[in-house]
Structure 1
Amino acid sequence: MNQEFPSVSVIIATHDRPQLLAKAIEAVRAQDYAGQVQCVVVFDRNEPDATLVRTDASRPVVVVTNDRTPGLAGARNAGAAAASGELLAFCDDDDEWLPAKLRLQAGRLAETGADVAVSGIHVSYGDKTITRVPRPEDVTHAELLRRRVMEAHPSTVVVRRTAFLGKIGQVDEEIPGSYGEDYDWMLRAAAAGPIAVVPEPLVTVLWGQTSHFNRKWRTISDALQYLLHKHPAFADDPRGLARVQGQIAFAHAALGERSAARTWALRTLRNSWRERRAYLALLVSLRVLSADRVLRLAHATGRGV
C-alpha cells in the first residue's frame, strides 16, 4: 500500500451512451494523480465493449457486466466488487473530471482522515455553465436531510474502500429504479462520519436531457416514498420532509394524477408553507403550468425540481 498515493478505482456505470462514455474514460485516465488509477466500466443492460480494455500498469481499464440488480445501484456495486483500489470513486458516464480531481481529493482525505471526500461541479446545460461548490457545513447529515445538496454530486465522491464495504455500506439496490440511490448513500455516509470537501469545481456535469431519470415520474415518486420510509430522521426536520413530499406531489401532478398531487401538496404545506414545490404541483395539477416548462426552467439554473 502506497500511503502517499493510494490506488484508486473509478467506477463508471454505463448504458448505451458510447460517445459520452469515451469522454468520461479519457478524463479519468488523464488525471494528474501520481498513484494508480484503475477505471472499471460497468455495462448495465447492454453488451460490454471489450475494445475499451487497457492493460497499462498506471491507468488500466477493466470492462465488466452488471451481474447484480439491473440499474445504477447494482451497477455501482458490481463495479466495486471488481475494483482493486484502496479508494473508490464514481463517475457518471455523461460527466467529465478535471485533471486535478483525484490528486486534490486524495490529498484532502489524507489531511483530514475522513472516509469520504466530495468537491464542486460545473453544471453544463445547453449553452450555459453554472458553477456550484459545497461547503463542509453543507454535507452534514442534518443539512443533507434539509436539502439534496446537488453540488456534492455523485461524480465527485471518493470513498475509502473499507468504509464503502463496512460502516457506510454499498449502494441500496432496493430503491425503485435506482432513483436517488446517491442521495440515500450520502445520507448514510454523513451519518457515519464527517465528509471532507475540496472547495472548488472538479467535475463537469452534463445536466438535464441526458439523465436516465428525465421525466420518469412514476419511478421518482416511488423512490422518494421509499426514502422517506427508510430514513425516519426526515420526521425531525419539517423543512426537509416537506421538500421530499413536494417532489412527490410534483411527480403525481406531472403524471396527471390530480387527486394524489393535491393530497401530497397538502401534506407538504402542513410541514412547511414555504415549500414552493407544493405550489408548483398544484399549478400543474390545475393545468396552469406544464411540468415540462417547470423542469426546463429548473434545469436552466442547474437544478432539479
Structure 2
Amino acid sequence: MTAEHPSVSVIIATHDRPQLLAKAIEAVRVQDYPGPVECVVVFDQAEPDTALARENPRRPVVVVRNDRTQGLAGARNAGAAASSGELLAFCDDDDAWLPAKLRLQAERLAATGADVVVSGIHVSYGDKTITRVPRPEDVTYAELLRRRVMEAHPSTVVVRRAAFLGKIGLVDEDIPGSYGEDYDWMLRAAAAGPIAVVAEPLVTVLWGRTSHFNRKWRTISDALQYLLRKHPAFADDPRGLARVQGQIAFAHAALGERSEARTWALRTLRGSWRERRAYLALAVSLRVLSADRVLRLAHATGRGI
C-alpha cells in the first residue's frame, strides 16, 4: 500500500448465481488500478465455494460465509469485517466493472478529499443498454431525499474504510429483507459529507430479471415504511415523501391489496398530485393494468418503480 495507491477491498455478496459471480470477480481482478485489490466474496445463505479463493499478492480472492444477519446488509458488513483494504468498494454479483473503475475513482477521492465516490452505469436490460451518469448535485442529501438517483448504483460505491466504520456507519441490518439498504446507506453518507462523482459509466448493471427483490412486494412495502420511520427528514420534502408513499401504494396494488393500495395512493396524491406511482397503483388496483406490465415498461427505460 502507498499513499498514492491505497489498498482496496472489493466486497461481493452472492447467493446462487455462480456464472454471474465468476464474471464479477474477473472484472475486479483485471482492474488497471496500480495498487493492491483484494476481492472478498461473501456467500449469503449458501455454502461457500472455496475453489474461488486465490492467493495472489496483488489480486487475492478471499471467500467467506455471511456470519451476520442473512441478506445483503449482513453480507456486506461481513465482507467489510473480513477485509483489509484502506478503501472499501461494493459490487453486486450480477454486475461487472469496467477496467478503469478503481483507478479513476481512487484518483477522484485523492483529488477531492471526499470519503465516498460514485460513478455512472450502463444499464443492461434484455437487448437494450442505457447509460446513466450522475452529477455531483445529484448526490446531495436533499436531492437523494427527493429521488433515489439510481445512477449512483451501489456497485459504483467506493468509501474510505474509516468513514464506513465511523461517521457513516455499517449497512443497516434491521431493514426488512435488506431491501433499500443501499439507499439508506447513501442517505447517511450524503448527510455525513460531500459525495464525489466520476462522471463516466464505469459499471455494467444487469437490470430487472436477476434482482433478488424482483416482485417481492411485501418485503418492499415493509422496508419502505421502515425507511420513512428512520428518516423523518422525508416529511420536510413533499416530493420525496410522495415518491416513497407511491412505491408503497404500488407494492400493495401488486399484492392485490386494493384497499391498502388506494389508501396509500390517496395519501401520496395529497402530498404531490404529480406523483405518477400513485396513478399507476390505482390503475393496477382497478385491474386496468397489470403490475408485471408496468414493471417491464419501467425496466425497459433503465428505471424501477
**Shorter-chain-normalised TM-score: which range?**
over 0.9
Tell me how far apart the structure 2 counterparts of residues 264 and 50 of structure 1 sit (CA, whole Å). Answer: 47
Deviations 1:63-121 (A, max 9, x none): 00000000000000000000000000000000000000000000000000000000000
**Which residue pairs with 1:237 in the alignment?**
237
Shift of the alpha carbon at 1:19? 0.2
Alignment map for 1:45-124 (pairs within 5 Å): 45-124=45-124
Report the secondary structure of 1:69's partner residue. Answer: coil
Name the amino acid aligned to 2:4.
E
**Which residue pairs with 2:257 in the alignment?**
257
**Where does structure 2 lack aligned partners over 5 or more consecutive residues?**
none
Tell me how far apart the structure 2 counterparts of residues 224 and 44 of structure 1 sit (CA, whole Å). Answer: 23
Alignment map for 1:1-305 (pairs within 5 Å): 1-305=1-305
Name the amino acid aligned to 1:208.
G
Q: Which runs of 4+ in 1 moved over 3 A?
A: none
What TM-score does the superposition give when structure 2 sets the normalisation length?
A: 1.00
Deviations 1:201-259 (A, max 9, x none): 00000000000000000000000000000000000000000000000000000000000
Shift of the alpha carbon at 1:197? 0.1
Shift of the alpha carbon at 1:138? 0.1
Tell me how far apart the structure 2 counterparts of residues 264 and 191 of structure 1 sit (CA, whole Å). Answer: 28
Tell me how far apart the structure 1 counterparts of residues 154 and 107 of structure 2 sit (CA, whole Å). Answer: 19
- RMSD between superposed Cα atoms in Å: 0.3
Report the secondary structure of 1:185's partner residue. Answer: helix
Report the secondary structure of 1:256's partner residue. Answer: coil
Shift of the alpha carbon at 1:182? 0.0
Percent identity over paired residues: 89
Report the secondary structure of 2:213's partner residue. Answer: coil
Tell me how far apart the structure 2 counterparts of residues 56 and 124 of structure 1 sit (CA, whole Å). Answer: 31
Shift of the alpha carbon at 1:2? 1.1
What TM-score does the superposition give when structure 1 sets the normalisation length?
A: 1.00
Tell me how far apart the structure 1 counterparts of residues 2 and 261 of structure 2 sit (CA, whole Å). Answer: 54
Name the amino acid aligned to 2:303.
R
Report the secondary structure of 1:303's partner residue. Answer: coil
Deviations 1:127-166 (A, max 9, x none): 0000000000000000000000000000000000000000
Tell me how far apart the structure 2 counterparts of residues 258 and 138 of structure 1 sit (CA, whole Å). Answer: 34
Tell me how far apart the structure 2 counterparts of residues 27 and 14 of structure 1 sit (CA, whole Å). Answer: 15
Shift of the alpha carbon at 1:171? 0.1
